[in-house]
Each structure stands twice: as structure tokens, then as C-alpha cells.
Amino acid sequence: MRKPIIAGNWKMNKTLSEAVDFVRQVKALVADVRDIEIIVAPPFTALQAISREIEGSTIELAAQDVFWEPSGAYTGEISPIMLKDVGCRYVIIGHSERRQYFGETNESVQKKIKASLAMGLHPIICVGEALEEREAGRTFDMVKNQVIQCLEGFSPDEMERMTVAYEPIWAIGTGKTATPQQAEEVHAFIREQLGQITNRQVSEEVRIQYGGSVNPDNISDLMVQPNIDGALVGGASLKAESFSRIVKFKKA
Ligand code: PEP
């Protein structure tokens, strides 16, 4: 059984005091939730404070990116050991905004995964097609390339520690969610690809989250799909009320 996983990606939002105030609200709202893995991914500047705030709760901490070297002259970068040190369990790698604005490639994603796993972090790897690619009927090709180029070569044991997030770029921050059927067919396809890279048993254990304009109203229909194991939420994760309603989707 794959435990559902709901992660809030705050992107470049919230000052330190806003972040702490926000997570206190979320903590209270989801205190009774045991059957969902809840993750928040604040900006780097709030990681330490949030790490302290969530101690003893069921909320886990993720970073939004990482660099692959352990230390050294890499101005502006943050290493896996630093994330571990500050209390992160997860790290988002290869988000489409990193790919679009900061030159992230499948090759750099792979290096980041490797370095993160070596530090005991759990990577959340983002893949997904652009609108032109979907319209040209190239969704499956694009996703397959990303999955293979980012994930090939990892052992079954390493693969089991990863989560894949399918985030169609045209659905991110646009209010256009993929239909549950559109998402499900790509999730099933990703699982099949994971099976080919490792084996069927491992692919059945890896959780695949959907991301792209998830909100309290569409989460339930997405989560009933057999291959959708959770959500990576951007905009709707910035308000405690909407994020907690997403986390509590079953009870809605
Ligand atoms: C995201 O950035 O990962 C995301 C899915 O954003 P949104 O929920 O705002 O579409």
C-alpha cells in the first residue's frame, strides 16, 4: 500500500515570520491526520525555523532544490548535507520552474538525486510536458525521456526512496488542472517506465504525485485514480485553510 503524500511547494513566498505563523496554523488544522504524509517546502531562509516548529508533529520538511556538491566554492548553492543538517527529509528536484528559468537539465537532476540519496534525503523528482508538447501529441515521449534520463541507473533500493511528481507545465499556476483521466494515464505510464528501469515490484511501491492547480475542490477526484498517490501543491498550499482541506481530502 502506498501512503498518500501531499506536499506544499511554497516557491519564493513567505518571510520568516509569515512562514512560522503559517505553519503553526497548518499544524493545528492537520493535527489529527495520520494516514497522509504531509510535507511543506518553504524557501531556504525558513527551513531552520520551520524545522523547529514541526518537531513532534506529523509534518515533514522539504527543500525546493539542492546542489550536488557537498561543499566548496559554489556561491549561492546549498548542499544535501546542509539540508539534512537543518532537518529536511525530502528535497524537490527538477521543478519545471528550475528547468525553465535556471537551466536545470535532466543531467543536473540526476546528479542532484544521486547526491541527495547519498545523504539520506528522499528526492521528489518533477517531470511533465509543456503545452506545445501535449498539443503535438508528444506527452508520453517527453515524460519518458525525462524519467529515463533522470532516473536510469539507480538501484531498486534507491528508487524506492524517491517520489515522482507528474506536473504538466500547462497546468502549473494556470488554474487549468489536468483531468483525473489525463493525469491517470500519464501516471500509469510513468509507473510502467519505472518498472522497466528497475522492476515491477519497485515500480508498484514508488509514489507518484500529481501537480498542477490542485485545490480543495479537485483533489478528491484526482486521488481516487489508482496511480495518483498524492499531490504537489503550489498556489493552494500558501493558505492554511486550503492546504489543510487538500490534506484532509477524504474527509471533505
Ligand atoms: C507547483 O509549482 O508545483 C504547482 C503544482 O503549482 P500550482 O499548484 O500553483 O499549479
Q: pLDDT category, 251, cuts 50, 70, 90?
A: very low
Question: Element (H or E) spanning 238, and its range?
Answer: none
DSSP state of 103: -
Q: Is 216 in the pocket of ligand 1 (CB under 6 A)?
A: no
Q: pLDDT category, 50, cuts 50, 70, 90?
A: very high
CA of 71 from ligand 1 middle (Å) equals 30
What residue owns the CA closest to ligand 1's atom 1?
A: 234
To the query of whether residue 187 is one of the catalytic residues in this protein, the response is no
Task: Evaluate whether 229 touches 194 at the Cβ level (below 8 Å).
Answer: no
What per-residue confidence (pLDDT) applies to 1?
Answer: 86
Unique residue bearing C-alpha cell 528497475: 198
Among 11, 127, 163, 233, residue to substitute to test ligand 1 (most atoms within 8 Å of Cβ): 233
AA letter at 64: Q
What per-residue confidence (pLDDT) applies to 177?
Answer: 87
CA of 177 from ligand 1 middle (Å) equals 10
**How confident is the model over 59-90, as pLDDT tens digits?**
999 999 999 999 999 999 999 999 999 999 99
Total Cβ atoms within 10 A of residue 133: 18
What per-residue confidence (pLDDT) applies to 246?
Answer: 98
> Is the model's pLDDT at 188 over the cut of 80?
yes
Relative orientation angle of helices 106-118 and 139-151, to the nearest 10 degrees: 40
Closest CA to 99 of 179, 13, 167: 167
**How confident is the model over 203-228, as pLDDT tens digits?**
999 999 999 999 999 999 999 999 99
The full 3-state SS of 111-173, as one line of letters, equals HHHHHHHHCCCEEEEEECCCHHHHHCCCHHHHHHHHHHHHHCCCCHHHHHCCEEEECCHHHCC
User: What's the whole-number average pLDDT of the chain?
Assistant: 97
What's the pTM value of the predicted model, to 2 decimals? Answer: 0.97
AA letter at 114: K
> Is the model's pLDDT at 252 over the cut of 60?
no
To the query of whether residue 95 is one of the catalytic residues in this protein, the response is yes
Determine the average pLDDT of the residues in 188-216: 97
Task: Evaluate whether 215 touches 242 at the Cβ level (below 8 Å).
Answer: yes
Among 39, 92, 166, 213, residue to substitute to test ligand 1 (most atoms within 8 Å of Cβ): 213
Q: 138-173 burial, b if ≥16 CB within 10 A, otherwise e?
A: ebeebbbebbeebbeebeeebbbbbbbbbbbbbbbe
Total Cβ atoms within 10 A of residue 56: 7
Q: Is 8 in the pocket of ligand 1 (CB under 6 A)?
A: no
Total Cβ atoms within 10 A of residue 244: 21
HSE of 55 in the Cβ direction (CA atoms, 13 Å)? Answer: 8
> Is the model's pLDDT at 250 over the cut of 80?
no
Which is higher by pLDDT, 85 or 177?
85
> Is the model's pLDDT at 139 over the cut of 80?
yes
Q: pLDDT category, 176, cuts 50, 70, 90?
A: confident
Q: pLDDT category, 40, cuts 50, 70, 90?
A: very high
Q: CA 95, CA 23: separation in Å to the nearest integer?
A: 23
Determine the average pLDDT of the residues in 124-129: 98
Q: Give the chain's length.
A: 252
What residue owns the CA closest to ligand 1's atom 3?
A: 234
